[in-house]
């Protein structure tokens, strides 16, 4: 829990924003896969995942089963950590800082404060600066992304609509976030005050975006990726890596699909390679249309 601990003997610092964002940098260009047991974690690592997200049920099943979705059993998370050498992430409920404390004590490499789980707090997110472990948070628009960054998130992902196998919401969110970044880059200094007000985001962060032309942290895509083309679409739109949740292990034949999505994410501008890896992958997850879903997870978060 102790933030920015300084080890006197070695004069080294852990838990700084540089170190937290550093791991996010290392995940760029990669695929982070949802897994629910050690067997799936092995399949994910074998397929070339750059990290896994350990959770009890993939979003498609959470959607189907209903009820309260919580942090996973520590035993299950440790089981996954034991079988893979790549970073292991896990989800805590929005605002549930004790779940986050538990995940940190388990040594997970990244915590996803996730709208896919049932929120524990209806007005507050976790104060992520208090932790040594980095956090990733979802966002549907730039204001939400900047609020999460102001709370200490080291990585932002689009929320998309998890568990649907439908990329439409992730595309909406990426276009909204990146589109507003482009507009702010063009804005004059007086307009930035209005942008901060409209986005309900801290002015200094808005001013920083105007200067640098990008978010303070990397931006990944999540929510609805089911095919290699989906992953490449997210990358071409400007995402820097992708999370794939239900899309892999809810498909017919997870291992080749996982590998194909990894290759499509690397070669996201090369249609020949995407075509090659997309052949004979079997049936993707069925997916759901947005008009058929009862609970939009993307609406969770404040």
Partner 1 sequence: MVRSSSNNSAKTVGVLALQGAFASHELVFETLGVNCREVRTPQDLGQVDALVLPGGESTTISQLLESSELFEPVKKSVHEGMPVFGTCAGMILLSKKILDGRADQLSFEAIDIEVQRNAYGRQVDSFEADIEVKTFSSPFHAVFIRAPRISKLGPSVTVLAELEEDAVLARQNNVMVASFHPELSHDDRIHRLFLKEI
For the window 211-240, what string marks contact with partner 1 as x by the rule CB under 8 A? Answer: -----------------------------x
From the list 51, 62, 80, 298, which residue makes contact with partner 1 (rule: CB under 8 A)?
A: 51
User: Could you list the active site residues?
Assistant: 91
Distance CA 230, CA 183 (A): 26
How many residues can be counted in the chain?
302
Residue 63 structure tokens: 């959607």
For the window 5-44, what string marks contact with partner 1 as x by the rule CB under 8 A? Answer: --x--xxxxxxx-xx--xx-xxxxxx--------------
- Judged by beta carbon, residue 28 or residue 296, the one nearer partner 1 is 28
The 8-class DSSP code of residue 73 comes to P
- Judged by beta carbon, residue 31 or residue 120, the one nearer partner 1 is 31
Choices 64-72, 159-167, 201-209, 256-264 (CB under 8 A): range interacting with partner 1: 256-264
Hey, which residues does 135 pair with through a beta bridge?
Answer: 111
Torsion, Cα 172 261 268 222, to 10 degrees, reads 30
Told to check if 254 binds partner 1 by CB under 8 A, we report no
- Judged by beta carbon, residue 51 or residue 205, the one nearer partner 1 is 51
CA-to-CA dists, residue 211 to 117, 175, 181, 215, angstroms = 35, 20, 11, 10
Shortest Å distance, C-beta 122 to partner 1: 29
Residue with tokens 């538990």: 102
- Who's near 163: CB < 8 A, 6+ residues apart? 58, 59, 60, 61, 62, 63, 116, 245, 246, 288, 297
Residues 96-155 that bind partner 1 (CB under 8 A): 104, 107-110, 132-134
Coil, strand or helix at 96: coil
When computed from its CA atoms, the radius of gyration of the chain, rounded to whole angstroms, is 18
Number of residues counted as binding partner 1 (CB under 8 A)? 42
Site residues for partner 1 per CB under 8 A: 7, 10-16, 18-19, 22-23, 25-30, 45, 47-51, 85-87, 104, 107-110, 132-134, 240, 259, 262-263, 266-267, 270
């Amino acid at each position: 829990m102790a933030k920015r601990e300084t080890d006197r003997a070695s004069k080294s610092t852990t838990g700084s924003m540089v170190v937290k964002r550093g791991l996010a940098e290392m995940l760029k260009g990669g695929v982070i896969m949802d897994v629910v047991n050690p067997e799936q974690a092995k399949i994910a690592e074998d397929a070339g995942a750059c990290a896994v997200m350990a959770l009890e049920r993939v979003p498609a099943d959470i959607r189907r089963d209903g009820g309260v979705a919580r942090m996973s059993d520590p035993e299950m998370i440790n089981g996954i950590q034991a079988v893979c050498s790549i970073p292991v992430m896990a989800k805590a409920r929005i605002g549930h800082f004790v779940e986050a404390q538990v995940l940190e004590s388990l040594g997970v490499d990244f915590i996803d404060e996730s709208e896919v789980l049932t929120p524990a707090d209806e007005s507050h997110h976790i104060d992520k600066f208090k932790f040594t472990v980095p956090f990733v948070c979802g966002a549907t628009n730039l204001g939400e992304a900047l609020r999460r960054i102001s709370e200490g998130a080291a990585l932002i992902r689009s929320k998309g609509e998890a568990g649907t196998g439908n990329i439409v919401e992730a595309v909406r969110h990426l276009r909204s976030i990146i589109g507003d970044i482009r507009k702010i880059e063009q804005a004059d200094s007086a307009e930035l005050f209005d942008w901060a007000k409209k986005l309900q985001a801290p002015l200094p962060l808005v001013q920083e975006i105007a200067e640098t032309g990008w978010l303070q942290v990397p931006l990944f895509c999540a929510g609805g990726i089911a095919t290699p083309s989906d992953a490449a679409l997210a990358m071409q739109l400007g995402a820097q890596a992708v999370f794939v949740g239900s899309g892999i292990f809810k498909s017919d034949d997870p291992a080749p699909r996982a590998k194909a999505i990894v290759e499509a994410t690397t070669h996201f501008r090369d249609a020949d390679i995407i075509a090659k890896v997309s052949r004979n992958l079997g049936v993707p997850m069925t997916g759901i249309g947005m008009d058929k879903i009862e609970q939009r997870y993307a609406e969770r978060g404040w």
